[in-house]
């Protein structure tokens, strides 16, 4: 009896020790000191905390959260304030950690552009040995680097849910750029390489590289998310175009220096389901690309992706381009997806082959082995390689968008850009005459959507409603507007639905 009781007491003590103590921290230094000690961190409601170097989780089981926060306006804000800063938070390699009800602000428009290259992720989670990480009810905004949020390979069973990501990089036309920025610094919303991860019920507004990109990440579930291009073009919506050596099937069977043989990569158990991908105000070049050459053309195919499912997603928006494209996969199943959008604007394709015209669902029967596709897929007519419009077109020769791309717009695409700009900036629908006038202007002068918004900001109507706002403060204005919308709509709800919140926000733009 005593042995049993003693063992129980020892187990209880060990369990207690495994639960980190919670301490209040008021600065980045205090946060890091607490994490170094093994404590969890509570931030005060509404606090804004400058961050000059990456804050790192140091022990399993730690948590960072805002005390008593009920709505996103209550969340404490961790904000980069150093020009050398790109990453705010790292949970790399730690298990059972939690980030909850915190804002991570990359301060894209308050600091000079981040150095050369893509820079580190704004937030880095996953990583070798990391299990059961949870990121929920957070806001990530205005990253200065290549990805806003990453779940790194080596992680297992990680979750990002109920979060909002706003403004990831600058697009191929220069929309969203910092005034000092040079081409091209586009950015992902969520980059996921950790297996068995869950990416659910998030809203990603204005990514410029990809909304959610899967780097294999076998077993991962991506569902009930919204990816929306409001003012910036995004190259991809939800991507499956990358093969990591970490997930190569039969790795080691081929010599490392073999660059010509076909390698297969594990997407087994991946489910992309019930997401809304909305090209409302800017082009999403490919909504869901499946296969490596859809993204990067190749004379010699060397990669095949195996095993994903793509069910019941909705593609929408007048500025849509290519929808779900399949070329270079095996054992994929794709069904129940719908397109409500207008598809226009030929991609760059390969230099030597004209690519297919934009359409909702296209596949290459030669490289879609053992896959099951919904009946409205059509076979490729010419080529599905490199269905992006970002590399081979003309560039702006002067002005603030010098050296960014200067492609013309499709008819419906231009209309979507104009309608959404008026709705967002003036809180009303554009009249038919305004749609016609400004669609012609942006097409004749090949203007980015930011330039159209600047034109709107100079109107008496805008100034009467919002006062004088400088050109360089456009995206600060937009960020504040969307933040206020989401705060009002979500309120103190713990069970909000991303698609409902997003659709309500579009309606409520007319009240702000």
How many Cβ atoms sit within 10 Å of the Cβ of residue 276? Answer: 21
Domain ranges of the chain: 20-208, 424-511
Whole-angstrom Cα distance, residue 165 to residue 204?
Answer: 5
**CATH class, 20-208 region:** mainly beta
Q: In what order do the strands lie in the sheet with 76-80?
A: 48-51, 76-80, 102-105, 139-143, 164-168, 203-207, 226-228, 276-278, 314-316, 338-339
> Do 149 and 194 touch, CB atoms closer than 8 A?
no
Proportion of the chain in helix, strand, coil states, percent, rounded to 5: 25, 30, 45
Task: Tell me the CA end-to-end span of the chain in Å, nearest whole number.
Answer: 69
Q: pLDDT by residue for the chain (512 residues), tens digit each?
A: 344 444 443 333 344 345 579 999 999 999 999 999 999 999 999 999 999 999 999 999 999 999 999 999 999 999 999 999 999 999 999 999 999 999 999 999 999 998 877 789 999 999 999 999 999 999 999 999 999 999 999 999 999 999 999 999 999 999 999 999 989 889 999 999 999 999 999 999 999 999 999 999 999 999 999 999 999 999 999 999 999 999 999 998 899 889 899 999 999 999 999 999 999 999 999 999 999 999 999 989 999 999 999 999 999 999 999 999 999 999 999 999 999 999 999 999 998 899 999 999 999 999 998 999 999 999 999 999 999 999 988 999 888 999 999 999 999 999 999 999 999 999 999 999 999 999 999 999 999 999 999 999 999 999 999 999 999 999 999 999 999 999 999 999 989 999 999 999 999 998 88
Helix axes 449-457, 432-444, angle to 10 degrees: 130
pLDDT the model gives residue 382? 97
pLDDT the model gives residue 259? 87
Nearest to 229 by CA among 273, 280, 270, 190: 280
pLDDT the model gives residue 354? 95
pLDDT the model gives residue 18? 52
Which residues are CB-neighbours of 262 under 8 A, at least 6 positions away? 301, 302, 303, 304
At residue 259's C-alpha, the angle toward residues 257 and 265, to 5°, is 100
Tokens describing residue 183: 């081409």
> Do 342 and 318 touch, CB atoms closer than 8 A?
yes
> Do 309 and 334 touch, CB atoms closer than 8 A?
yes
Nearest to 416 by CA among 442, 451, 389, 446: 442
pTM of the model: 0.95
Whole-angstrom Cα distance, residue 56 to residue 316?
Answer: 39
How many Cβ atoms sit within 10 Å of the Cβ of residue 298? Answer: 13
Query: 439: exposed, middle or buried (C-beta count within 10 Å: 0-12, 13-18, 19+)?
Result: buried
pLDDT the model gives residue 512? 80
Whole-angstrom Cα distance, residue 288 to residue 314?
Answer: 11
Q: Cα 118 to the chain's mean position, in Å?
A: 15
Nearest to 401 by CA among 168, 181, 176, 174: 174
pLDDT the model gives residue 108? 95
User: Is the bond preceding 412 in cis, omega lying within 30 degrees of 0?
Assistant: no
pLDDT the model gives residue 223? 98
> Do 226 and 203 touch, CB atoms closer than 8 A?
yes
On the CB side of 500, CA atoms within 13 Å amount to: 7
Q: Which CA distances in Å does 283 have to 175, 228, 417, 471? A: 12, 10, 9, 23
Phi-psi region of 34 (alpha: psi -120 to 50; beta: other; left: phi over 0): alpha
Query: 3: exposed, middle or buried (C-beta count within 10 Å: 0-12, 13-18, 19+)?
Result: exposed
């Amino acid at each position: 009896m005593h042995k049993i009781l003693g063992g129980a007491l020892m187990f209880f003590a060990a369990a207690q020790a495994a639960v980190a103590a919670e301490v209040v921290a008021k600065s980045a230094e205090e946060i890091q000191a607490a994490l170094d000690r093994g404590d969890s961190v509570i931030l005060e409601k509404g606090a804004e905390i400058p961050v000059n170097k990456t804050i790192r989780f140091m022990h399993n089981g730690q948590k960072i959260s805002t005390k008593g926060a009920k709505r996103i306006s209550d969340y404490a804000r961790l904000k980069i304030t150093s020009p050398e800063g790109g990453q705010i938070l790292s949970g790399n390699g730690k298990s059972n950690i939690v980030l909850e009800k915190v804002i991570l602000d990359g301060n894209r428009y308050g600091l000079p552009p981040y150095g050369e290259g893509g820079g580190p992720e704004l937030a880095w989670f996953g990583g070798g040995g990391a299990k059961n990480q949870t990121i929920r009810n957070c806001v990530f905004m205005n990253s200065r680097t290549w990805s806003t949020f990453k779940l790194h390979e080596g992680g297992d069973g990680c979750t990002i849910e109920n979060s909002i990501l706003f403004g990831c990089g600058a697009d191929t036309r220069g929309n969203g750029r910092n005034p000092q920025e040079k081409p091209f610094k586009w950015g992902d919303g969520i980059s996921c390489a950790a297996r068995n991860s869950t990416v659910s019920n998030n809203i990603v507004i204005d990514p410029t590289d990809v909304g959610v990109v899967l780097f294999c990440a076998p077993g991962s579930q991506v569902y009930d998310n919204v990816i929306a291009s409001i003012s910036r073009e995004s190259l991809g919506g939800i991507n499956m175009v990358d093969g990591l050596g970490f997930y190569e099937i039969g790795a080691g069977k081929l010599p490392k220096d073999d660059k010509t043989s076909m390698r297969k990569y594990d997407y087994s158990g991946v489910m992309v389901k019930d997401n809304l991908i909305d090209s409302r105000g800017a082009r999403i070049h490919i909504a869901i690309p499946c296969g490596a050459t859809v993204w990067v053309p190749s004379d010699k195919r060397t990669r095949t992706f195996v095993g994903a499912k793509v069910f019941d997603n909705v593609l929408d928006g007048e500025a849509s381009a290519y929808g779900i494209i399949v070329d270079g996969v095996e054992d994929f199943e794709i069904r129940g997806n719908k397109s409500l959008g207008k598809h226009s604007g030929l991609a760059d394709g390969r230099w030597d082959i004209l690519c297919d015209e934009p359409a909702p669902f296209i596949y290459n029967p030669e490289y879609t082995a053992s896959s099951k596709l919904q009946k409205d897929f059509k076979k490729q007519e010419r080529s599905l390689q490199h269905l992006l419009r970002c590399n081979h077109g003309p560039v702006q020769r002067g002005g603030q968008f010098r050296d960014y791309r200067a492609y013309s717009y499709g008819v419906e695409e231009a209309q979507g850009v104009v309608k959404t700009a008026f709705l967002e900036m003036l809180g009303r629908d554009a009249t038919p005459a305004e749609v016609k006038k400004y669609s012609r202007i942006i097409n004749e002068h090949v203007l980015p959507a930011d330039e159209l918004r600047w034109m709107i900001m100079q109107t008496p109507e805008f100034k009467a409603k919002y006062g004088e706002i400088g050109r360089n403060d456009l995206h600060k204005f937009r960020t504040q507007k969307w933040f206020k919308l989401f705060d009002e709509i979500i309120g103190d709800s713990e069970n909000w639905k991303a698609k409902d919140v997003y659709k309500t926000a579009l309606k409520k733009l007319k009240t702000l």
